[in-house]
Amino acid sequence: MPPDVRDVQDQLDAAERDATALVQGLSEELGTRRPAPAAWSVAECIDHLATANRVYLAAMREPAERARQAGRTRRGPIRPGLFGGLFVYTLEPPPKWWAPMPLPPKIKPAPSPPLGPSFAAFIASQGRVRAFLQENAGLDLSGVLFPNPFVAGIRFSLATGLHVITAHERRHLAQAWRARRTVEQGGTS
């Protein structure tokens, strides 16, 4: 596996380990408690990630298949372009005050999702992202574009999409850890 593909794989593995540690020993009651009325619970953060991963991968699959059929093989490392790299940067934790991200309705967390099923859905989504990466590692991921599923008219490379997924996971896992610490210290909604 090329080092750049391994790096994305390592980021996915790190997010899964982080999410596992996050929910370990966390009761359902605390995992679904909001730390403040307008803040998300741990379960909502994890549900949001599982949903976002599913939506992003769905948008990436068909362009990857077309690229495979057209013989668009790997030409270099998996790197986002300039615009894609800036977008990835804005997703990294902590949230950037100068780049607020409106929440697309199709990836809103379910209302009061249970912790266990939310975590299971996230782990399953991680498996699908890993499978996509492994199945398509031989493609020109930096050159094949897909339509952004949230912003009409914007197209990203598949490489950018993979980096968006991993940065987005870091962002919301950090948010979920803040929520856990707050509710464990007695904060409630």
Domain ranges across the chain: 3-110+125-184
Alpha helical stretches, state H, 41-114: 42-69, 82-91
- At residue 152, does pLDDT exceed 70? yes
Output the pTM of the full model.
0.94
Region 3-110+125-184: CATH code: 1.20.120
Please list, in sequence order, all residues whose beta carbon lies within 8 angstroms of the beta carbon of residue 159, skipping any fewer than 6 positions away: 78, 79, 80, 84, 141, 142
Q: What's the pLDDT tens digit per position in 92-133?
A: 998 877 767 788 888 999 888 999 999 999 999 999 999 999
DSSP state of 101: -
